[in-house]
Amino acid sequence: MYTIKLPKILFLALSIASFYKKDYFNTNDLAILANKYKKDLVRQRVDKKDYKYLDDTNFGGLRGNFSTLVTWKGFVKRGSSVVNYYSIGKDGRLVSAICKGEIILDPKTLNAHTNNEKLYNLLETEAQLLNVREGQAHIKVMLQKNPQIPLVRDTANFSKVSVVSSPNGQYFIRGLLNNYVKEDVIEYSILNFWEGKKLKKKNLHILLVIPNKNNPWGEVVALKNEDLFIEKPLLVQINLTNRTCFDKNGKTYKLYSLQEALDQFSTGDENISTRLGYKWSELKERDAMPEVKLKNKKEDEFSVFVNKFLDWKKTFRIDGKDVSDIKVSSSGGPDVTLVFSGGTTQQVELEHDWKNYLDHKHHLDNAWLNVWIFAEEIFDLPKILKIFGEAKKQNNGRVPDVFLCIDGEGEKHVYKVDWDSKTAAELDLGF
């Protein structure tokens, strides 16, 4: 059994997981649920009855505490409104595990217990991410501790938002750490840069903070707003290995050091025509999905693979080789490893759809070199060639040749694609 002590706000969020009525939620939903179902963990301050606090919190309301916990996932159309929706963790696995009893919470100790190492690692990562987010939340405190950084809070123009200005007249807003995509890739939400009328007030740029092991404010880098106005990304990722910054469509953006930004970036009064033409409402509508789509909740990929493809078996035969064991990845990289009886191994990436492999940028990372792929989708060679063709030309071994799948009748298949001849051959598979 694995046991981990959870931060109180994470423990509270997971303890109300079984009361979620929708596949999405926001911080208001969480605050309402916490006060309705977990009054033992939440108290009400006497002088401000509309503010809810955890019993050991002296600063900020419960909704604010939840804001440093959740991961932003996108927009959903709720009636005539477009609202944010979030998850706890990368996806719904932690919430699902709570509901299934795979994680058991102890309210006396605030410990979480599980027999699943992968779930333990997810809990550990989420607790660490929360601590880093909370450490990065107070830019004013950081600046007080680092007087050599020539930035000051602009409370006159932005009383409730952490916008800072430089002696040269540049203005910056901090992008928010959103997720650890994998071991060497960090995702940031720059939603707060685009939302509302901030850009009407000042010509803002973005600060991104790369944490290190001992300091949540490890390194401060910057994005130039002129580079962002065309694509208008809401999320960006930084690959810590090659120091590239990119959005979900693969568009790359130059990262600047703070000193380069202070020397080169435009001031807070520039780009007037561009800022006048920008509309926050149009950007929200661009990326919002209908509420109904979020109700088609999918089982996680590993469960689909084990249940539907393997029939809960660990041993089988594929392409003339006996698989003696299956190991789940406990860190960054492909999801599972097949261990053959001769001692060799083969990594397999698990996805719901074929295109998710590219959406997750695996073709850009050598950790996925020579990987196989399983998807909960019928094998259709023309579709495979269309999805992966260009990526295969550019990324070669980082795009799979072997595809594991299930057909419409529930039968399992494995295909190997010859990209030169644009043909596919079915490999032997036996259980």
d(CA 35, CA 62) in angstroms, rounded, equals: 9
Q: What is the value of pTM for the model shown?
A: 0.65
Three-class SS state of 301: helix
pLDDT for residue 44: 53
Compute the average pLDDT of residues 127-153.
86
Q: Which helix (H) or strand (E) holds 191?
A: helix 191-194
Give the tens place of pLDDT for each residue, 249-263. Answer: 888 999 999 999 999
Lowest-confidence range among 58-62, 156-160, 185-189, 222-226? Answer: 58-62
DSSP state of 383: H
Give the tens place of pLDDT for each residue, 78-120. Answer: 777 888 888 887 777 888 888 878 899 988 888 999 998 888 9
On the CB side of 171, CA atoms within 13 Å amount to 21
Q: Are strands 2-5 and 316-318 parallel, antiparallel or unpaired?
A: unpaired
Inter-helix orientation angle 27-37/8-15, to 10°: 80
In what order do the strands lie in the sheet containing 204-210? 152-153, 163-165, 171-174, 204-210, 219-223, 256-257
pLDDT for residue 114: 92
DSSP state of 427: P
pLDDT for residue 294: 46
Compute the average pLDDT of residues 349-369.
88
Q: Are strands 171-174 and 52-54 parallel, antiparallel or unpaired?
A: unpaired
Q: How confident is the model at residue 415 (pLDDT cuts 50, 70, 90)?
A: very high
**What ranges do the domains of the chain cover?**
2-134, 139-280, 301-430
Residue 55 has pLDDT above 60, yes or no: no
d(CA 13, CA 88) in angstroms, rounded, equals: 8
Give the tens place of pLDDT for each residue, 8-20. Answer: 889 988 988 878 7
Q: Which candidate, 118, 93, 103, places its Cα nearest to that of 15?
A: 103
Give the tens place of pLDDT for each residue, 154-171. Answer: 888 887 788 999 999 999
d(CA 282, CA 194) in angstroms, rounded, equals: 11
Give the tens place of pLDDT for each residue, 395-412. Answer: 899 999 999 998 867 788
Residues counted in the chain: 431
Three-class SS state of 53: strand
Residues 130 and 9 sit within 8 Å (Cβ to Cβ): yes
260-286: burial string, b at 16+ Cβ within 10 Å, e else: ebbeebeebebbeeebeebeeeebbee
pLDDT cut 70: percent of the chain above it: 90
